[in-house]
Structure 1
Amino acid sequence: MPTAPHTRHGTGQQASPAPDGRSLSQIVFRPWDCQVVATAVRFEIPERLASGPRKSAELAVAIGADPATFTRFLDACAILGLVESDGEGTYTLTELGGTLARGSGPFPAMALMNMGEGMWNRMAKLHETILTGRPAKDDRGEDLYQHYDHHPEERLWHAEAMADLSNDAGRALAAGFDFGPYHRIVDIGGSLGILLSHILTGAPHAHGTVFDLPAVVERGRAARADSPVADRLDFFGGSFFEDAPPSADLYLIKQVLCDWGDEDGARILRNSLRNAPSGSRLLVVEWTRPAGGQPDHLDLMSLCLQTVTGGRARTEDEFITLIESVGFRYEKTTPVPSATSPRPWQVLQAVRP
Structure 2
Amino acid sequence: MPVNDPITPEPLLQLGLGFMASKTLLSAVELGIFTALAGGGRNRESLAAEVGLHPRSSADFLDALVSLDVLDRDEDGTYRNTAAADLFLDRNKPSYVGGILEMADARLFGFWNNLTDALKTGAPQNEVAHSGAPFFATLSQDPIAWRNFLNGMNGVSTPLAGALAADFDWTGRRHVVDLGGALGAVPAAVLRANPDITGAVFELPPVRPVFEEFVAAHGLADRLAFHGGDFFSDPLPEADVYVMGQILHDWNLEQRRFLLDKAYAALPEGGTLIVYDAMIDDERRRNTYGLMLSLNMLIDTEGGSEYTVTDVTRWLRGAGFRKAEARPLIGGYTAVYATK
The interval holding the TM-score normalised by the smaller chain is: 0.7 to 0.9
Q: Which residue of 2 aligns with 1:54?
A: 43
* TM-score, normalised via structure 2 length: 0.79
Report 1:32-181 matches (<5 A): 32-50=20-38, 51-56=40-45, 58-64=46-52, 66-70=54-58, 73-83=61-71, 92-95=79-82, 98=86, 100-102=89-91, 103=93, 105=95, 108-116=98-106, 118-137=107-126, 138-141=129-132, 145=136, 148-181=139-172
Distance 1:308 1:243 in 2: 24
Distance 1:334 1:319 in 2: 10
Deviation at 1:195, TM superposition (A): 0.8
- Asked if structure 2 preserves the Cα contact closer than 8 Å seen for 1:184 and 1:248, the reply is yes
Change (3 A) 1:35 1:287: closer
* Structure 1 position 345 matched with structure 2 position 329: no
* TM-score, normalised via structure 1 length: 0.77
- Asked if structure 2 preserves the Cα contact closer than 8 Å seen for 1:211 and 1:238, the reply is yes
Deviation at 1:43, TM superposition (A): 1.2
- Asked if structure 1 preserves the Cα contact closer than 8 Å seen for 2:263 and 2:273, the reply is no
Equivalent position amino acid for 1:92 in 2: Y
Deviation at 1:285, TM superposition (A): 2.5
Instruction: Provide structure 1 residue ranges, at least 5 long, that are not aligned to the other structure.
Output: 1-12, 18-22
Deviation at 1:315, TM superposition (A): 1.2
Per-residue CA distance 1:62-117 (angstroms, 9 max, x = gap)? 345544345554354355354467999x651252754533348565333222222x
- Asked if structure 2 preserves the Cα contact closer than 8 Å seen for 1:243 and 1:272, the reply is no
Q: Which residue of 2 aligns with 1:15?
A: 8
Distance 1:199 1:86 in 2: 40
* Structure 1 position 252 matched with structure 2 position 239: no
Change (3 A) 1:294 1:62: closer
Q: Considering only aligned residues, what root-mean-square deviation do their CA atoms show, in Å? A: 3.4
Aligned length: 327
1:225 counterpart SS class: helix
Q: Which residue of 2 aligns with 1:307?
A: 299
* Structure 1 position 235 matched with structure 2 position 222: no
- Asked if structure 2 preserves the Cα contact closer than 8 Å seen for 1:186 and 1:251, the reply is yes
Of residues 257, 268, 283, the one that matches 2:274 is 283
2:280 counterpart SS class: coil
Distance 1:131 1:236 in 2: 39
Equivalent position amino acid for 1:289 in 2: I
* Structure 1 position 27 matched with structure 2 position 19: no
